[in-house]
Structures are given as structure tokens and as C-alpha cells.
Amino acid sequence: HCEYFLAKQGGRRPAVIVLHILDGKFIAERLLCGCLAASGTNALLLKMPYYGPRRPPEWKGRMSDDIETLNSGLRQAVVDVRRAAVWLSTRDEVDPKAIGLCGISLGGFVAATTAGVDGNFPRVAIVLAGGDLVKVLDHRPREVKVLREAAEQKGWDTAKLTELLKPV
């Protein structure tokens, strides 16, 4: 599930996959994608698992509400980004050697992870994101309060969180 912002300049242009923040309203990301397209770069806003149309109708939470959902959601998001890059590379208007990646906040974690496992993105921009998810959980910012409380209720300490989130 994506929104594609096509550059009006024509010809083969660079492209950027944009990943959203935790709140999932896509406001900042749509603004960024619009600015990229206006300046000649195609932009693809990728909606991560459990956000927007990818949220199951009966599910009222966020991807960050429990460790298992976060772990599987982030892993799926990495696969989705890689698939999105392949799709972009097949587009006539996209230079397949100039596909970048930009993640904001939660999307920054996914962008960093994807860039680390993929190695095919010539440009990666990580905006307002940390680099160690377990440390973020240990510092307890408001954005991960529910996740941290759920982990504590299960008796998961920092060592257990490190083990569980190692794949991410």
C-alpha cells in the first residue's frame, strides 16, 4: 500500500521511498513526497504494516504496542521496502540506479535496517530516529510507553528485549 508522487519533469528521474512516523497520519510524509516530486524526484510513500489500509479493521492498536507485533511488523516493512525498490526500478520514469530511501522517526529505524541488510540504496536519509531500539525502550520516551509497559508486564528486561529484537 503506497502513494506515488510522480515528478512532472519527465524522463528517467531519481526516486525515493519514504517511510512514515509512528502516528501514521502521513502528513509530514505527504508534504515531503510532494516537495520531492515538485523538485524532480519521484517519491513513493510506503505505508508500513498495521498503518492506514494495512490496519486490520478489528485492531485498534499500533505496530509499537507489543514486541511481537513490532518485531514482525518491522521485518515485514523491510521486505516491503525492498519490494517497493524493485517495483520502482521497473518504471520507465525512474532511474533504477538512483533509488533512495528516507525514513522519519519509526520509518528511520526501518530505513536504517533496510539499508543495512539490502546494501542497494545509494542514498539513505534517516530523520528524527535513533539507532538502537532497545536503548530507546530503556529511555522510555512517550512514544514507546505502551510497548515498554507491555514488556514489563511479561517480565521482559533489557536482556530479553535485546534477544527478541535482535533480528530487527
What is the percent of the chain with per-residue pLDDT over 90, rounded to a whole number?
54
Task: Give the per-residue pLDDT at 136.
Answer: 76
**How far is 120 from 143, CA to CA, in rounded Å?**
30
Task: Give the per-residue pLDDT at 153.
Answer: 86
- Evaluate whether 63 touches 49 at the Cβ level (below 8 Å): yes
> Cα separations (Å) of 53 from 18, 57, 66, 146?
17, 9, 20, 22
Task: Give the per-residue pLDDT at 10.
Answer: 87
Non-local (6+) Cβ contacts of 92 within 8 A are: 12
Q: How confident is the model at residue 98 (pLDDT cuts 50, 70, 90)?
A: very high
Q: What is the mean pLDDT of the chain?
A: 89
Say how many Å lie between the first and final Cα of the chain, rounded: 22
Averaged pLDDT, 75-93: 97
Task: Give the per-residue pLDDT at 89.
Answer: 98
